[in-house]
A = this chain, B = another copy of it.
Amino acid sequence: MSGPARLKRTVRLRQTMPNSVGRHMARRVTLKDVARESGMSESAVSQVLNNRPCRLSEDSKQRIRECAQRMNYRANRAARGLATKRSETVGLIVPDIENPFFSSLAKSLEARCRQAGLALFVANSDDRIEHDCEQLQRMDALGVDGIFFVPSNEIIADDESSIMDVLNGVSVPFVMVDRIIDDAVCDKVFVDNEYGAHQAVEYLISRGHTRIGCLANTRNSQNGRLRLAGYRNALVDHGLDFDDSLVAEGDYHGASGYGAVDALLSAGVTAIFSTSDLMTIGVMRRLSELSLRVPDDISLVSFDRNETSAFFLPDITSVHQDVAELSSRAFDLLSARIGGDASDPVLQVVEPTLVMGTSVSEPRDQDVR
């Protein structure tokens, strides 16, 4: 349909700017330039442009401002930061920016920071411990005022020791969000994953299910283990046995959800608790291939709810993590620390809620055994 000629098409064209070679990049105008141009001293210019309480004649002030404007002066923030030890910039490190939960967190934090006049820079660690360390040090060395940090799962799984050194070496405040390294001494805010799962499963039980499958990422996710724990505890709390064969291992991606369905079905489940949205998508696809309908043939509860999954049919009943609340708490905490608060580290828990959809009904026939 397209010849290979269409591929790798590169157009080299002369743009609007007359005989420009590359883009014209003016040397940055500095404070000194403005000082010279306005006939004032550098310090005077600095004062005025930063609205410092200073006693210069209105005349001089005007002249300075006018000059700066005309010359299109903008302060070099790196230099300013060097002098003031403040950059009005904070960082966020996430394991996977493609994960809707984290991109939503990023957006939410960004909005909050902007309100406060801070810029937020997001870095992706790819869920790799060494990248966490790199980014942490880099942001610190670059002079951000504080850091929101969502650690890699690998860290929590492997060894906490290597990162502790890095963490201790960071010279700005940071708060740990969503995923927690127990030994770290810092503010932490996270969602009560265990409780969320507990609610979900308790609900299924209340609708009459007794053989409930659970799909969880326990291998490399602390939160995944907590969700499984919530599942287990809910069963136990209601006098049901925990049965290994009803638990499937997933990895937070669609394929693992897809692949887990058959085993769960043959174990005779009447409901599935899938502990992440992405996996739920895979589950639904497989169910659909098998011509099983939700909730008529099988009930389904999920975790999270992104823009995409919100449009599924049927509406999936799912555990909702309040990202806005999470961001807001994290922001307040970091903000206070940046402001100099030196009180003891704090642990804050955001409670998830079960959002009702239409993906759950009573089990079809009496349970087999």
Contacts and interface: CB of A to CB of B under 8 A. Distances in A.
Interface of A: 1-2, 6-7, 9-17, 20-28, 72, 74-79, 81-82, 87, 89, 91, 96-98, 100, 103-104, 106-107, 110-111, 114, 119-124, 126, 131, 134-135, 137-138, 140-143, 168-173, 183, 185-186, 195, 199, 202-203, 253-254, 258, 278, 281-282, 284-285, 288-289, 306-313, 337, 341-349, 351, 354
B285 A254 contact: no
A89 B317 CA distance: 43
Given A20-B185, A122-B122, A307-B98, A9 B351 contact: yes
Contacts of A354: 1
A9 to B, nearest CB: 5
Contacts of A87: 78, 142
> What secondary structure prevails in chain A residues at the interface with B?
mixed
A329 B219 CA distance: 37
Contacts of A25: 170-173
B1 A199 contact: yes
List the 8 closest pairs (A to B, CB-CB), nearest first. Answer: A22-B342, A121-B121, A77-B141, A254-B311, A122-B122, A78-B143, A281-B311, A308-B308
Given A76-B143, A185-B17, A348 B123 contact: no
Given A9-B351, A24-B168, A122-B123, 6 more contacts: A25-B171, A26-B168, A27-B171, A119-B134, A278-B307, A289-B313
A122 B141 contact: no
Contacts of A311: 254, 258, 281-282, 284-285
A98 B107 contact: yes
B137 A122 contact: no
Nearest to A12: B346
Contacts of A7: 351
Given A21-B343, A185-B16, A351-B7, A79 B82 contact: yes
B123 A119 contact: yes
A342 B254 CA distance: 45
Contacts of A124: 106-107, 110, 120, 122
Contacts of A170: 25
Nearest to A1: B199
A12 B344 contact: yes
A25 B26 CA distance: 40
Given A76-B143, A311-B285, A345 B22 contact: yes
Nearest to A255: B311
